[in-house]
Structures are given as C-alpha cells and as structure tokens.
Amino acid sequence: AKAEIGVIGLGVMGANLALNIADNGYHVAVYNRTTSRTDEFAASAGELADRVTACATLEEFVAAIKPPRPVIIMVKAGAPVDEQIAALQPLLEANDIIIDAGNANFRDTMRRFTDLEGSGLTFIGMGVSGGEEGARHGPSIMVGGAEAAWKRVEPVLTAISAKYEGEACAAWLGENGAGHFVKTIHNGIEYADMQMIAEVYGVMRDHLGMDAPSIAAVFSAWSTGPLDSYLIDITAEVLKVSDVVSNRPIVDIIVDAAGQKGTGRWAVIESQMMGVPATAIEAAVAARSLSAMRAERKNAQVRFGLPPQQARREGQQVIDDLEKALLAGKVAAYAQGFAVMTAASAEFDWKLPMATTARIWRAGCIIRSRFLDEIATAFTDTPDVANLAMTPAFSKIIEETDGSLRRIVSESVLNGLPVPALASAVSYFDTYRRERGTANLIQAQRDFFGAHGFERFDADGAHHGPWGGEQG
C-alpha cells in the first residue's frame, strides 16, 4: 500500500513525528539526507514498521506516497529547508503539499509562499512545539497557509496533536506565515516564563538561602495552584535530581550560561518591528545573553563585589509573595505576546484567532498550563480587547498580585538580585496604566533639536516651541 503522507528529516523531531503519525494508523514514507539515519529509524520502528516505508532516495520517497502528497519537511531551519524544497520541486506534482514543520523564521516562510506561487504546489508553514516527547505523543500544532490546504491535512494533524480535555491542540491560524509567527511568539513567551521562574529561584537560593530540594518543594506546592504548568512541574523535577558523581543537586553543578537558538530573539525583533512592547520577552532574551558572558560577570564581581544584604522578611512571607509575583509577571509576558500577535495580524492581514491560539497552547507545547485555559476564556468573552490585562479576569489577577510583585522587585533591587523580567513587568504595568506620562518632555526635546513639532492639550494641530537662540 502507498503511504498517505511523507516525512523528510529523521532527527529528533522528524523521527518522533513519523512514529506518531504511524501510531495514529497512517502509513508514512520517510527520507533522511544521511541514509544511515533512515536505516536506524526503520530498525527502531518496532511494531509500527508495517506502516513505515523507509526510502533511500527522494525519488523513491515521492513514488511511495499516494498523490496528492502531503510532505512534511522537518530538517534544520534555514538554508536546509530551501535546499529540500528545491530538491523536491521537480519530483512533486500539482496539488502536492509541502509542509515546513521546523522552526522557520516566519519571514522565510512568507518568502517561500511567494516563491512557490504559480508552481502548482501548495505550501504550509507549520509551527510545532513540545520537544521530543510532544512530537512522539502529541505536540501543539500551529498552521499557516491556505485554508483549503489545511482542510486536506486537518485529519492527520489533529490526530497526531496533543489533546486538552479531548480538544485537539492543532489549528489553522491564518494565511502564509501565520503559523510560524505564532510559534515565534510562543517561543518568546517560553523564554519569559523560564526567565521569571529562574529569577524566583534566584531569590529563594540567594536571598532566602534555600537549598535545591527545599526550592523543589516550593515549586511542587505551586504546581497545584494558579501557576500549574509544565514548566513549573519540570522545574520542581530538575531541582530534586542529584548528580550521580558528586551526589550534589545537579542544578548546583550546571554552568549558569544559557544557550539559545534564536526564536526568542525573533519574537523581540518582530515586536520592535510592530512597535508593540514585549519588555518581558526582551528582558528574558537579554538575560540569556548576559548569562553567557561568564568571564565578564566574574571580573565585574571581583571589581564591585555584591551589595550588602538588607534585613529580610520571614521566609514564608517572601515565598507567598514570590508565587503571586510570578503570576503577575506571567500576565505581563502573555499580555505583551498577545498584543504583538494582534498587531501582526493587522499588519499581515491574518485575522489571527487569539482564543484559538490560547486553546492550542493548553496542551502539547512547552508553555502549556491552566493559565492558558483562562486566557482562552478571556479572549472568547472579550475577543476585541486591546490588552489581556484589560479583560475582567486578568484585571482581577493583576489587582491581587500587584503588591507582591512590587515587594519582590523592590527587595531584589535593594539586595542586588537580578530580576530583569519581573522588574520589566512592574514598569510595563506602571507605564501602561498611567494616563499622564513623561513623553511631553521627549516631544519638547525632539522639537528643540529636530523641529519635529508637538501637539498641545489646549489647541489643535502641530506646534513648535518658542525655543529661541540658535533653534529659534
């Protein structure tokens, strides 16, 4: 029998996605540039082997799939995707669908749509989140492309996706680059979530002097409350694990320099392009970059030392505030991420469905949480709200957590503990909710040096200042 779908690229994600597809009853053809990897894959397919056709060449691969063919490309993002598309193009026929499921920059996806226009081939840019485990047992799937193309692959994609209370975490989000854009914002939010968890861990470790197992217990307790999420769960898990060699908590041995593959940075770049602040995501990306400058940080500590520690409150009071501060910080990060998507949706004419986006993030992906179910409900109830913070449910959360966030940020600053993402959340709220800002002074400066003009409260139109002197 011919395969119903094909997967190119049998790395971590592609191999698991192919097994997931076979597991759901579909016959899948697979191909990988390096043939030994294809052979290893075929050998590891076990009881799913009769639903897998392993191909040594692209020609064989294309011939093994029943037309019109859906072909998932799951290779390293960037040039390899263009190379694969170029290699496939002469072999495929009209109406075949190429699905790029890697972490593409959505601007590359937009370009690929344009490049393939008129070729007879259909293209889909698909964001996939959930890592190895998600790919194997159910990821969150964010689809961009023609709606008709989505309809053709919807059965298989919903079958392999994660389920939240029975609902598939796969959806069509809009034309062309919509799926990869949403995936980029997902990753930006993921950076912010992880950074704020790390900041809170830092306060417990360096301010309260707690050891890893005690901190693990705090995160475990939080995982049954409003912070209930995959990232809080795995934080509790990793903090519990001891190194087999030294028997010390493994986190105390891991070097404090974070890696990044660039998707968080893209989220920040796109937020800047839209002119929509995503300060918590920016802070998180910057924190990873600063973390990587270990030698410089070491020298600076030698030069400046650490600030003297202030008297601290009773531990449990701080811990209770930390839980609420983390929740407040999350509200800021998600409000910002969704605001960037709202602006991009208008800019690229996507009509991104915000409630649906929150819904397909509730399971399968790295940021999955109870919180996202609340966001989905908030956007369903108030679909046109300008900012998540202005929905009744989230306004209430902000009121209940704002004091804690302020106390944690101020105490951390006084004690020299870096909390850049949490601090950005406070400043974001304080700027967002204050009608009378300070940009009047900036407008005066701009007019003084560049004659850019300003508006007046007491008169219509553009005005210039009576600056006199050389500006006059």
- Catalytically active residues are 183, 190
Minimum distance from residue 232 beta carbon to ligand NDP (Å): 19
Is 81 or 203 the residue whose CB approaches ligand NDP more closely? 81
Secondary structure element (H or E) that encloses residue 327, with its range: helix 315-348
Nearest to 280 by CA among 429, 387, 413: 429
Nearest to 103 by CA among 133, 74, 145: 74
Structure tokens at 36: 């030994």
Stretch that binds ligand NDP, among 27-35, 276-284, 349-357, 448-456 (CB under 6 A): 27-35
For tokens 């998707």, the residue is 263
Q: Which of 53, 58, 72, 102 binds ligand NDP (CB under 6 A)?
A: 102
Minimum distance from residue 135 beta carbon to ligand NDP (Å): 7
Q: Does residue number 262 form part of the binding site for ligand NDP (CB under 6 A)?
A: no
Is 34 or 289 the residue whose CB approaches ligand NDP more closely? 34
Is 115 or 206 the residue whose CB approaches ligand NDP more closely? 115
Stretch that binds ligand NDP, among 10-18, 106-114, 309-317, 370-378 (CB under 6 A): 10-18
Q: Does residue number 34 form part of the binding site for ligand NDP (CB under 6 A)?
A: yes
Nearest to 383 by CA among 341, 362, 353, 361: 353
Measured from each CB, the residue nearest to ligand NDP is 11
Is 98 or 327 the residue whose CB approaches ligand NDP more closely? 98
Helix, strand, coil in percent for the chain, rounding step 5: 60, 10, 30
Taking CB under 6 A as the rule, which mask of x and - marks residues 357-396 in contact with ligand NDP?
----------------------------------------
Is 277 or 364 the residue whose CB approaches ligand NDP more closely? 364
Is 136 or 324 the residue whose CB approaches ligand NDP more closely? 136
Nearest to 179 by CA among 221, 253, 123: 123
Query: What part of residues 77-96 is at the interface with ligand NDP (CB under 6 A)?
Result: 77, 80, 83-84
Q: Does residue number 32 form part of the binding site for ligand NDP (CB under 6 A)?
A: yes
Structure tokens at 300: 């600076």
Query: What part of residues 125-154 is at the interface with ligand NDP (CB under 6 A)?
Result: 128-129, 131
Contact yes or no for 65/4 (Cβ under 8 A):
yes
Phi, psi dihedral angles at 97 (to 5 degrees): -115, 125
Minimum distance from residue 157 beta carbon to ligand NDP (Å): 15
Q: How far apart are CA 331 and CA 199, in angstroms?
A: 16
Q: Which of 11, 262, 416, 465 binds ligand NDP (CB under 6 A)?
A: 11
Helical pair 279-292 and 315-348, crossing angle rounded to 10 deg:
110
Minimum distance from residue 52 beta carbon to ligand NDP (Å): 16
Is 17 or 22 the residue whose CB approaches ligand NDP more closely? 17
Stretch that binds ligand NDP, among 3-11, 244-252, 308-316, 431-439 (CB under 6 A): 3-11
Q: How far apart are CA 162 and CA 140, in angstroms?
A: 6
Structure tokens at 269: 């770049």
Q: How far apart are CA 204 and CA 234, in angstroms?
A: 17
Taking CB under 6 A as the rule, which mask of x and - marks residues 52-81 in contact with ligand NDP?
----------------------xxxx--x-
For tokens 């093994």, the residue is 64
Nearest to 199 by CA among 220, 215, 176: 215
Is 135 or 339 the residue whose CB approaches ligand NDP more closely? 135
Q: Who's near 268: CB < 8 A, 6+ residues apart?
A: 188, 278, 281, 282, 285
Stretch that binds ligand NDP, among 111-119, 124-132, 150-158, 191-199 (CB under 6 A): 124-132
Minimum distance from residue 105 beta carbon to ligand NDP (Å): 10
Minimum distance from residue 449 beta carbon to ligand NDP (Å): 45
Contact yes or no for 336/277 (Cβ under 8 A):
yes
Task: Look up residue 24 and give its amino acid.
Answer: N
Q: How far apart are CA 37 and CA 15, in angstroms?
A: 10
Q: Which of 5, 6, 7, 9 binds ligand NDP (CB under 6 A)?
A: 9
Peptide bond into 68 cis (omega under 30): yes
Nearest to 27 by CA among 58, 70, 76: 70
Minimum distance from residue 26 beta carbon to ligand NDP (Å): 20
Binding-site ranges for ligand NDP (CB under 6 A): 9-14, 32-34, 37, 74-77, 80, 83-84, 102-103, 128-129, 131
